[in-house]
Amino acid sequence: MKFLRHENSALAVWMATVISLLCLLVALPAKLEAAQTDEKEKILIGLDAAMTGVMAQSGTVIKRGALLAIEELNQAGGVLGRKLELTIKNHRGVPARGVDNIHDLARKKSLVAILGGLHTPVALAELKAIHKHKLIYVGPWAADTPIVENGNKPNYVFRVSAHDELAGGFLIKKALERGSRKPGLQLWRTGWGRLNHKATTAAMTKLNFSPAGLQWFNSSQRDISVEIEQLKKASADVIMLIANAHEGSTLIKNMAARLAATRIPIITHWGITGAEIVKKDQIAFEKVDLTFLQSFSFFKPTAPEKAAKLVKAYCNQFNVCGSVSNIVSPVGTAHAYDPVHILKRAIEAAGTIERDKVRSALEGLGRYDGLVRTYNPPFTPQRHDALDVTDFRLCEYDTSGAILPMNTSVIR
């Protein structure tokens, strides 16, 4: 009898196990179908930028602009009945890592486009992979002209940002308007620096004058005072600077350390704004006459109502309260926000997320009243740059590190 009870007990355990396995097998297709449905409902937009390191702020503000736009669109029903989602890759400012990220993102079937970051060398290195995989790439920051004018047909790269061919001429003209007659060039020894050298000298040639001098500096150079002195000896009355935040901050500290009568005003591209540098050396920044290129400001926005709405959403979503002074690197956020809305319009025009069809649709969109400007249209088959010199302005830091259009007073 004991044997039979043991046998019946074992049989019951076996039957329970079989039933459990059958239940799992029955439920599995439904779960797989649900997972596939969830995946199908998402349209992915990639972000490939520096999310850590010295320039991490640049990646963060681009991410914020994209997320704000995605949240708006998802609340309004998404695109083609599907939700949008941001998928993020960190290239850390390293070109090889950026190329790997492009290959990884290309494997995501529901990914329709990628937003890039601040670093020009990374964007240039990624061009081959972008076109190999036929990935739509929209640049919200990196400004080198060849990123967009890259010779690929069809061209999968678009940009909502400045580009250096126009920026060089704009900065030189602003230097002249401020009374300079002998600009000195202080350039970062990188591809970005060399391309800006070409753009700036071309602008000077058109205006029939030459730079007072040219000095190069290296990445992570700890002291640029010798180069500053060489430009001073060449009678430079303004320094035209091309630098990112780390090297730019070094030069500004070196300039502040000079006797007041020997300091030279600085006009620079916007690379220095990709990190928070003023609060670390506030006294140095207060001593230097520094202005720089921007293409958007929440203090003087092109579309005030749209900007006010976005500021409110920004403060709520990222726990940043008070004045718009607390919105750091504003061009990164604005330049990422508009492209997501433009991509939405292109997807709807194409009726699909197939990248080649969305790419073609981007070249044929009508007017869009965006945050940065009115795009009429954003792009054409011949023009993949959405901004031009009319969007440029000179800005400056206030004592808190907020970026203000020149001659703007802020009540805190």
Mean pLDDT, range 348-377, rounded to an integer: 98
Average pLDDT over the chain, rounded to whole?
91
pLDDT band at 12; cut points 50, 70, 90: low
Looking at the fold, whether 178 and 248 belong to one and the same domain comes out as yes
Looking at residue 320, its pLDDT comes to 84
Choose the final residue of a domain: 269, 294, 319. Answer: 294
Q: Is residue 28 part of a domain?
A: no
Mean pLDDT, range 379-389, rounded to an integer: 98
pLDDT band at 357; cut points 50, 70, 90: very high
Looking at residue 38, its pLDDT comes to 47
Q: Is residue 36 part of a domain?
A: no
Looking at the fold, whether 181 and 254 belong to one and the same domain comes out as yes
pLDDT in tens, 310-322: 999 999 999 887 7
Phi and psi (nearest 5°) for 287? Answer: -90, -15
Q: Is residue 89 part of a domain?
A: yes
Q: Are 167 and 392 in contact (CB under 8 A)?
A: yes
The percent of residues above 70 in pLDDT, for the chain, comes to 89
Looking at the fold, whether 46 and 106 belong to one and the same domain comes out as yes
Report the distance separating Cα 107 and Cα 105, nearest Å. Answer: 5
pLDDT band at 39; cut points 50, 70, 90: very low
Report the distance separating Cα 387 and Cα 160, nearest Å. Answer: 6
Looking at the fold, whether 207 and 354 belong to one and the same domain comes out as no
Looking at the fold, whether 112 and 193 belong to one and the same domain comes out as no
CATH code for the domain of 228: 3.40.50.2300
Looking at the fold, whether 193 and 46 belong to one and the same domain comes out as no
Number of separate domains in the chain: 2
DSSP string, 256-269: HTS-GGG---EEE-
The percent of residues above 90 in pLDDT, for the chain, comes to 82
Q: Is residue 14 part of a domain?
A: no
Mean pLDDT, range 75-94, rounded to an integer: 97
pLDDT band at 20; cut points 50, 70, 90: low
Of 18-27, 154-163, 229-238, the poorest mean pLDDT is in 18-27
Q: What is the DSSP letter of 79?
A: B
Mean pLDDT, range 395-405, rounded to an integer: 92
Looking at residue 266, its pLDDT comes to 98
Q: Is residue 354 part of a domain?
A: yes
Report the distance separating Cα 131 and Cα 150, nearest Å. Answer: 10
Its domain, for residue 92, covers 42-162+301-390
Looking at the fold, whether 127 and 225 belong to one and the same domain comes out as no
- Is 4 a residue whose pLDDT tops 70? no
Looking at residue 71, its pLDDT comes to 98
Mean pLDDT, range 4-33, rounded to an integer: 50
Choose the final residue of a domain: 294, 312, 346. Answer: 294
Beta 374-375 vs 368-369: how paired, if at all?
Answer: antiparallel
Q: Which of 246, 223, 240, 220 is nearest to 118 (CA)?
A: 246
Looking at the fold, whether 305 and 156 belong to one and the same domain comes out as yes
Looking at the fold, whether 261 and 312 belong to one and the same domain comes out as no
- Is 32 a residue whose pLDDT tops 50? no
pLDDT band at 241; cut points 50, 70, 90: very high
Q: Is residue 46 part of a domain?
A: yes
Q: How far is CA 44 from CA 70, 83, 117, 349, in A?
A: 10, 9, 17, 17
Residue position matching structure tokens 């702020």? 57
Q: How far is CA 357 from CA 1, 11, 154, 250, 350, in A?
A: 76, 60, 12, 46, 6
Most confident of 23-37, 202-216, 327-341: 327-341
pLDDT in tens, 274-298: 999 998 889 999 999 999 999 999 9
Looking at residue 321, its pLDDT comes to 75
Looking at residue 223, its pLDDT comes to 97
- Is 28 a residue whose pLDDT tops 60? no
Looking at the fold, whether 78 and 119 belong to one and the same domain comes out as yes
Q: Is residue 5 part of a domain?
A: no
pLDDT in tens, 163-197: 998 999 999 999 999 999 999 999 999 989 998 99
Looking at the fold, whether 290 and 178 belong to one and the same domain comes out as yes
More confident residue, 400 or 229: 229
Looking at the fold, whether 157 and 306 belong to one and the same domain comes out as yes
Q: Is residue 199 part of a domain?
A: yes
